[in-house]
Amino acid sequence: MIEKNKIEEIFFLTKEGGMFLLHIPYVEKYDDPALTSAFISAIGSFADMGVGKLETISRKRTDLLVLEGERVVLAAIVSKGIDLSYFRLEAKDLLDEFEETYKWQIREPDGLLNGYYKFALNVYMRFPIYDIQNNVVLERTNVPIENIPYNGVIRDGLTKLLEAVNGIRNIEEIHKASWHLIEPKKVTVLLGVGYHYGCFKLKQDFMAKKALLFVDRDIYGRVYPDYVLNDMLKTMNDAFGEDQMNMLLPLCDGTKTIEEVSEELKVEREVILFVVKGLIKLGVLVLIVKTDTPKQTTLEWIL
């Protein structure tokens, strides 16, 4: 549902002198970026590289990728197994874009950052922190947007998306709700940044989160293999929808009948019955006869 990028850190350094310009971390723990950039500058042997040539320096757990431009060097620490051909093409375009955006500052560096951090979103657009599928549902945490270390467009964009991230809409629905504010691709990238810095968290699908517990507590004493369980869950979610499933289960509290649940959810009784039967097979629900009517002629079932 959410897959982490194999990149761990990206650096931009001046070609002459190896002056640290910009650091984009993709991991929570990393060394001091100035020290790391000095290390990269020392071992890069940039003078021996051709412009646009990708140099790979292998390490035990990660690789160091170095790409030289006219005045700037892009370096990245990446996990083993990254797609080098894709990285080279995207990194080359990104490096050209950086040099064009900051050409005057790079020609006459004054030792200040000069707002290079504003380029962070450009980096994330090329290399998002996460690959997030459209069916993912995010909800807000107590971590404020101000904790994200990028002023300007990233914080502003996430602020615009706050109301859309409500624990109900999935990514695709957030796109539809915010298309007039932010373009869809940028929405996904920004949400990934917010997720990375703890401003959002993944809303676990109730069924997927509790699946193993359901198997262990099957009221009929059955234990399903994982592939059978996953198939049953997928069938039910596909038929009923993850959001509706998360709305249904809290209503099954031992006080409401099938008809009452159907009416509250505005879903046909037959559909509720289909889902309920699946949940009974998993041991999640049990039906009990409603007996508060002394002379009832038909059975009413409580979920």
Residue pLDDT, tens place only, 200-258: 998 764 444 444 343 443 434 444 555 555 666 666 667 677 677 777 777 776 677 77
- 136, pLDDT greater than 90: no
Q: What structural domains does the chain harbor?
A: 2-126 (3.30.450.50), 130-202 (1.10.10), 206-302 (1.10.10)
Whole-number Å distance between alpha carbons of 36 and 20: 9
pTM over 0.75: no
Length of the chain: 303
Burial class (CB in 10 A: 0-12, 13-18, 19+), 289: exposed
Query: 24 forms bridges with which residues in the sheet?
Result: 10
First to last CA, the chain: 31
Other beta carbons within 10 Å of 91 = 25
For range 168-184, the mean pLDDT: 87
Residue pLDDT, tens place only, 149-174: 888 889 999 999 998 898 888 898 89
Give the model's pLDDT for residue 156: 92
Distances (CA, A) of 56 to 7, 65, 82, 114, 127: 14, 5, 12, 29, 18
Whole-number Å distance between alpha carbons of 49 and 46: 5
Look at residues 194, 174, 195 and name the one whose alpha carbon lies nearest to residue 185: 174
Whole-number Å distance between alpha carbons of 70 and 16: 10
Q: Which pairs from 267-276 meet CB under 8 Å and 24+ separation?
A: 271/239, 271/240, 272/248, 274/239, 274/240, 275/236, 275/239, 275/240, 275/245, 275/248, 276/303
pLDDT-derived band at 189, boundaries 50, 70, 90: very high
- 196, pLDDT greater than 50: yes
Give the model's pLDDT for residue 34: 64
